[in-house]
Structures are given as C-alpha cells and as structure tokens.
Amino acid sequence: MRQLHLILLIFLLILTGCAQQLPQQNVAQDWQSRLKQQKNWQARGKLAFIAPDNRQSANFNWYLKEDKQNLILTSFVGTRIFELEELDTHSELTFEDNVHKGMDSSDLVKRLSGLSLPVNQAPQWLTGLVEAPASELDNLGRISNAQWQSPSGRVWQITYQQYKMQDGMWLPSRMKLSSTNIEVKVLITSWQFK
C-alpha cells in the first residue's frame, strides 16, 4: 500500500510538472505577437562601425512611430552626427546643418555619412523579429542568428548575443550585424514602449 501511495505521488508530481510547462510555450508565443503589435517604441544605446579603413562609434536614439523611423546619432561628447526622419513621401537626413532628402533611408545614411546600416529593415532586426528563411532560434524561441538581403542587394548577417525581459517581452540588448567588409556592433541600453 505504501508503494502504491509513492507511485501515485510520483505520478502526480510528473503531471504537475508537465502542466506547468505548457503555459510557458503559450507565453513564448504571446510575447512575440505582442512585440509585433508595438508600433511606437524608443531604443537608446551605442553603435560601433568597424570597416577595414574606418572605425566609428556613436550613441543612438532610435524611434518608431506608426511605421516611421527617426534616428539620431551623436558622438560620445554629445555632438549630433546626423538625424534621420522618415516622412510619408520621403526621408530627410540633417547632416552638417544641411537637410538632404531621399526615397531610401539606408541609401541616404550611406551616401551622406558613409555608414552602411540597414535602416529600412531596422524595426525588424532591432526588435529581434527578423523574418528570414536562414534563421536560427534558441531554446526560448528567440532568434540567435539570421541572414537577409536588403532591397539594395546587400546581404546582412545578424547575431543576437543577449536579450533581456521587459514588459513581458524578450528584447535584444546586444547584437552584431555584418556584411561584406563591415561589422556593426549594437548595444541597447534602454527600451520604451508608448
């Protein structure tokens, strides 16, 4: 009789353990769908651009408001390097006190500052929601590596090195982007959702 009670107790513990793991899968799927619904956010942090003949670093303040981006890069002493603003019909980049207009944000940044950065796809890669056929997930369903091609034809590889949980969502806090002859290291120090 004592063995029967022990067997029943073990069986109940196993069932309890299994029952507690099912909601974790639902939570994992839930945070991704909640993050995809976020249309207004702000990310702050640091960028490091590394190329064979050039190394630059900057602080960034990156906003998304209803699918329109605003990116401000500043030096470590606070001097504004440039500000990019996406409007309904075009993008504007303020660089060296001049406003430049263009249809493609990534091209505008590259042409005026010399920095290669896939700005157009930033709402996806910055939040860890890259939709790419060549992507790997970790055991929590977060992207660890992904590769995609930008509209200009440049192939980008991203490695997510660290995530943090905020507002019930897993958000990237450290990542590395690489393409031919360029590497961009990104450290996100804060996220805000509105």
pLDDT in tens, the chain (194 residues): 555 444 544 554 455 554 444 444 444 568 889 999 999 999 999 999 999 888 999 999 999 998 899 999 999 999 999 999 999 999 999 998 999 999 999 999 999 988 889 999 999 999 999 988 879 999 998 999 999 998 888 999 999 999 999 999 999 999 999 999 999 999 999 999 98
| Consecutive H or E run containing 35 | helix 2-37
pTM over the 0.85 mark: no
3-state secondary structure of 53: coil
- CA-wise closest residue to 43 among 24, 69, 20: 69
The confidence score (pLDDT) of residue 10 equals 55
Q: What are the start-end ranges of the E strands in the chain?
A: 40-51, 54-65, 68-74, 80-86, 91-95, 98-102, 134-137, 143-149, 155-166, 169-179, 182-193
Record the tokens describing residue 74, joined without a space: 């500043």
pLDDT at 104: 93
Identify the pLDDT of residue 30.
85
Rounded distance between C-alpha atoms, residue 85 and residue 51, angstroms = 25
Beta pairing, strands 91-95 & 80-86: antiparallel
Q: Please give the pLDDT value at position 179.
A: 95
d(CA 27, CA 165): 12
